[in-house]
Amino acid sequence: MNHVTLCWLRTFLLTLIMAMGVVPEASAHRVNLFAYVDGGRIVTESWFSKSSRVRGGLIEVFDAATGEKFFSGTTDDQGLLSFDVPAAARAKKADLRITLKAGEGHANETILKAEEYLNAPVTTAPAAPEPVSSADPAKAQADTPVAANDITAAAPSAPIPSPPASSGGATGTPVTTATPVPPQAATPAPVSPDPALLAAMDKMFDAKLAPVKSMLAEAMDPAPSMTEILGGIGWIFGLMGVAAYFKSRKG
Amino acid sequence: MHISEGVLSAPVLGVGAVLAAVGTAVGLKRLDYDRLMTVAILSAAFFVASLIHVPIGPSSAHLIMNGLLGALLGWAAFPAILTGLLLQAVLFQYGGLAVLGVNACDMAYPAVACFYLFRPLLRSTGRRRAVGAFCCGFFSVLFSALLTAVALEFSDEGFFAAAKILVAVHLPIMVAEGLITAMVVSYLAKTRPELLWGEVAR
């Protein structure tokens, strides 16, 4: 038995080593779905693995609470599908359950919180692509307004530091300088931003965030790690030990 | 070939679970104390085989190795495959816990069926044995594809649409597994014949 076992172990370890070599390529039994808000649209990406996208997969959008169907469509050759936030969903402020059916028993789904699309400015400011899996919707909620504020405030706030310094020098009372500053700072703020500037920034953000988006999408597709593979094998041998123990007590 | 969660209806899942329980019970009953180590090693091989991805065709296909388990273990392949699938579901998120029964039936029953179908060939020697082993590997995958399509028949996909794609995608896998099974069985027959006939002799 011992010799046989050793022989088996050798064969098995060889197979295992071969398997390790191909692990990075091998994560295609599961289909992945990633959805985010971009401008006023919802973008979904679907893929089996890095090199294999879901073509013609069926995407359906439901109300997460009631199950009412808002939208359905199929993915393109890149596994992408984008659509306007359904008006009915916007009216109801509904969380969206987005499901993907990729055929042959492959399916997945994800939840898109209402705050994510309600807070995303429809046409102007760049919406930060918020990963659906983010466990912290409050943070995502906070992000978008901050980004929008920065755009409006960035240009006017730059000259602020110098006027208070000069006005403070003129009056000669350093104590009071603090009070005039807030009204001065507040007055230039309401100036409405140039739409062309916003469009340019929109483009720039898209370009800058594209790699981040793809990194996030990839991070959501964890290929089985060595820990999990070895852990699984350990489990099998552990279970075998338990079985052997009980069989030996019976016998 | 793993069916995801949320595709099948509750009755299909229920039938799958019951059939898997029956198969596992029979497998455990037939499992011989001396062969426990072999079963565990082959279960581990099945668990790892799903990571070996064969990059042919448009969809996802990976080695399954149910034919090899069937040829070497007979009914004992059932608990081995169930264990492998359970760990794949928990650790890799392939398939899922609710569909575990259906997936186990899809992969283990063909293995057991092939064992009985090709037993006369497996028992003989030389080329005939290699052919038997090849058939075990080849037809186990084919039957698994068809059984998966049967399970999908009861979802909104339909048997023929699913079967056509599943069989087409798994053709290279069938050939690969046929060859692997033939190689392993021939090798073991020469070096460790007692491993092969453990189940058959009973």
Would you state the pLDDT for residue A250? 72
Tokens 């402020």 label which residue?
Answer: A93
Would you state the pLDDT for residue A14? 61
Would you state the pLDDT for residue A16? 56
* 3-state secondary structure (DSSP) of residue A34: strand
Contact call for residues A136 and A162 (beta carbons, < 8 A): no
Cβ neighbour number for residue A67 with a 10 Å cutoff: 8
Question: In chain A, which residues have pLDDT < 70?
Answer: 1-29, 50-51, 120-191, 220-222, 251
Q: Which residues contact A29 (CB under 8 A, 6 or more apart)?
A: B1, B2, B50, B60, B62, B92, B94, B95
Would you state the pLDDT for residue A15? 60
Contact call for residues B173 and B61 (beta carbons, < 8 A): yes
Helix axes B126-153, B100-117, angle to 10 degrees: 150
Which residues in chain B (16-75) have CB-CB distances under 8 A to chain A? 31, 33-34, 36-41, 43-45, 47-53, 55, 58-62
The verdict on ipTM greater than 0.85 is no
Distance of CA B49 to the CA centre of its chain: 11
Interchain pair A104, B33: CB under 8 A: no
In order along its 202 residues, chain B shows pLDDT tens digits of 788 887 888 888 999 999 999 999 999 988 888 888 889 999 999 999 888 877 665 555 788 899 999 999 999 999 999 999 999 998 888 888 989 999 999 999 999 999 999 988 888 888 899 999 999 999 999 999 999 888 888 876 678 878 888 888 888 889 989 999 999 999 988 888 777 765 444 4
Distance of CA A133 to the CA centre of its chain: 6
Q: How far apart are CA B201 and CA A25, in angstroms?
A: 41
Residue A48, chain B, CB below 8 Å: the answer is yes
Would you state the pLDDT for residue A56? 81
Residue A2, chain B, CB below 8 Å: the answer is no
Distance of CA B20 to the CA centre of its chain: 13
Q: Which of A5, A26, A240 is the closest to B51 by Cβ? A: A26
A233 contact residues in B (CB cutoff 8 A)? 44, 47-48
A235 contact residues in B (CB cutoff 8 A)? 87
| Domain total of chain A | 1
Within a domain: A139: yes
Within a domain: A110: yes
Q: Which domain holds residue A67?
A: 29-159+186-203
Residue A233, chain B, CB below 8 Å: the answer is yes
Query: Taking the C-alpha atoms of B109, B112, B116 and B120 in order, what is their torsion angle to the nearest 10 degrees?
Result: 140
B166 burial (CB, 10 Å; 0-12 / 13-18 / 19+) is buried
Tokens 């259906």 label which residue?
Answer: B102
Residue A195, chain B, CB below 8 Å: the answer is no
Which one-letter amino acid corresponds to residue B127? R
Which chain A residue has its CA at the smallest distance from B44's CA? Answer: A233
Structure tokens at B112: 């057991």
Which chain A residue has its CA at the smallest distance from B84's CA? Answer: A236
Distances in Å between the alpha carbon of A102 and those of A61, A192, A226?
15, 46, 28
pLDDT tens, A45-61?
Answer: 888 776 677 888 888 88
Find residue A71's DSSP bridge partners.
A61
Residue A106: phi and psi, rounded to 5, are -90, 125
Within a domain: A239: no
B87 contact residues in A (CB cutoff 8 A)? 232, 235-236
Would you state the pLDDT for residue A246? 84
Question: Checking DSSP bridges between strand A80-84 and strand A41-49, what pairing results, if any?
Answer: antiparallel
Residue A237: phi and psi, rounded to 5, are -70, -30
Interchain pair A229, B148: CB under 8 A: no
B52 contact residues in A (CB cutoff 8 A)? 18-19, 22, 26
* 3-state secondary structure (DSSP) of residue A59: strand
Cβ neighbour number for residue A13 with a 10 Å cutoff: 10
Within a domain: A141: yes
* 3-state secondary structure (DSSP) of residue A108: strand
pLDDT tens, A212-244?
Answer: 877 777 776 667 788 888 989 999 999 988 888
- Per-residue burial over B104-115, b if 16 or more Cβ lie within 10 Å, else e, is bbbbbbbbbbbb
Query: What are the residue ranges spanned by the domains of chain B?
Result: 10-200
B8 contact residues in A (CB cutoff 8 A)? 105
A99 contact residues in B (CB cutoff 8 A)? 6
B144: left (phi over 0), alpha (psi -120 to 50) or beta: alpha
Q: Which helix (H) or strand (E) holds B20?
A: helix B10-30
Find residue A80's DSSP bridge partners.
A45
Provide the edge-to-edge strand list for the sheet that holds A106-112.
A69-74, A58-63, A96-103, A106-112
Would you state the pLDDT for residue A92? 84
Contact call for residues B67 and B181 (beta carbons, < 8 A): yes
List the CATH code of the domain at B10-200.
1.10.1760.20
**DSSP classification of residue A107:** E
Distance of CA B73 to the CA centre of its chain: 11
CATH of the domain at A39: 2.60.40.10
Residue B116 to chain A, least CA–CA distance (Å): 24
Q: Which helix (H) or strand (E) holds A47?
A: strand A41-49
Q: How far apart are CA A108 and CA B13, in angstroms?
A: 17
Residue A237, chain B, CB below 8 Å: the answer is yes
Biggest CA-to-CA distance, chain A:
102
Would you state the pLDDT for residue A135? 41
